[in-house]
Amino acid sequence: MSLIQPSSRSKTSQKTPARRTENNRIYAHPLPIILTEPSEPSFLRKTLHFFGVSASDILNPHCQGVLDVATRSVWVLDMKDAMILWQRGFFGKGDLSRSEPSWLARQINARKLAKKGMMTSEEVTAKRRAERKQFKLDRAKAMAAAAAEAEVAFQQGHVVSTIYAADGTRMIPSAATWKPNDEVTQPEQDVSRVEEDDGEDDEEPIENVEHLQLTLQEAFFLSWNLDCLSISNPDNGDIMTLSQMWNVFQNVHIASPTLAPSLDPPQHRRFDNPFLVNYVIYHHYRSLGWVVKSGIKFCVDYLLYKRGPIFAHAEFAIVVCPVYEDPADQDGSSFDLNNTSPFSWSWLSTINRVNSQVQKTLVLSYVTIPARSRVSEDVLSSPACFVHYTVREVVLRRFVPARMRD
């Protein structure tokens, strides 16, 4: 049983009822496979239902992906399959997007706004960042000029203000008085994109060059547990079997990034292979109903969502801490796993503070790696080896006296 339970506080975003209803309809299915009941159940189905046996039909999307060795991920190139995997469980991310593969929609929106002489939200953000950068440069120049003027006046025996000039104008600009110039107001990308022409090019359809990128853990979960994803070999295009995927995903962390991993079993199987250690954590929380996403933005390994990033922010931040059952296995290992050595209190306090500021509970998930002296390496020939791993959780909460005195 997991120590992690959803919190009672609500962190859902303020959305209109119509928007919430639409999201509930689009993201109604937690997994790519769907169980449906027939409209007119037969006598056999009624009999099975009477004895407590489900007779539902299974709708399997059978998505297609291709292994990319350089990024250690699986690419789903068909956008129909990509949207199925995203909308049914929030698997993967768009390679040109922050999460949902929405590059094409953003490009279409940018084209519409360009015709109206308006900017997209990304362009507005870039404009504000350019303005802040220019403001800091102007303020630094003004401060340097004021300091030089004060130094000359001091040598002459005069006292001058380093903030206001003699006529009362402010020498050092502030955020309230500073105004951007025309070059900062109009970024370069806007000028080149808003140029008007005969309008023929605007009518050309935009080719979607984005794909869904799955981690190896997500791809193996979809292939092994749900049987809804087929992965092809990038060398010959053949569909890999489950046994070949099992070998390749381990060999990816062994072979050189410039060489294609072998489909054969690894020459030296090890329980501390990074793919195995990370998959244990991923499978553990996915099987408990959590939506597991990458947590690199908050300096952790994984983020846990109750329903998905569309509905609410992540509640828990997971740091994977591998623990060797036999310390001798770590000494002879060729893998340099993160967080295997004791970490400093300053590091732990920093990570905890970062996640506390964004209302996430930090969880240290300790994965016990079986000892090679106790468990034979032959069990690593199949996913049956996962039963020998254990996961323990330590929940950390930052003590804030002003908030917790009640």
Give the residue numbers annotated as catalytic, written as ranges: 305, 313, 360
Q: Which of 64, 383, 73 is nearest to 239 (CA)?
A: 64
5: phi then psi, degrees, rounded to nearest 5 = -130, 145
CB 74 within 8 A of CB 231: yes
Q: What is the largest CA-CA distance in the chain?
A: 106
Determine the straight-line distance between the first and last CA of the chain, rounded to whole angstroms.
Answer: 30
**Alpha-carbon distance 133 to 174, whole Å?**
13
Q: Which helix (H) or strand (E) holds 362?
A: strand 361-369
**Alpha-carbon distance 79 to 210, whole Å?**
8
Task: Estimate to the nearest angstrom the gap between the alpha carbon of 344 and the chain centroid.
Answer: 26
- Angle, CA 263 vertex, CA 261 and CA 268 arms, to 5°: 75
Size (the chain), residues: 406
Spatial CB neighbours of 45, under 8 Å, sequence gap ≥ 6: 38, 55
Strands (E), 205-300: 212-215, 229-232, 291-294
119: phi then psi, degrees, rounded to nearest 5 = -115, 150
- 75, two tokens: 């690419």
Q: Please, how many CA atoms are within 13 Å of residue 124, restricted to the half-sphere of its CB?
A: 8
Q: Which helix (H) or strand (E) holds 63?
A: strand 63-68
Q: Which helix (H) or strand (E) holds 153?
A: helix 121-155
**Alpha-carbon distance 217 to 244, whole Å?**
15
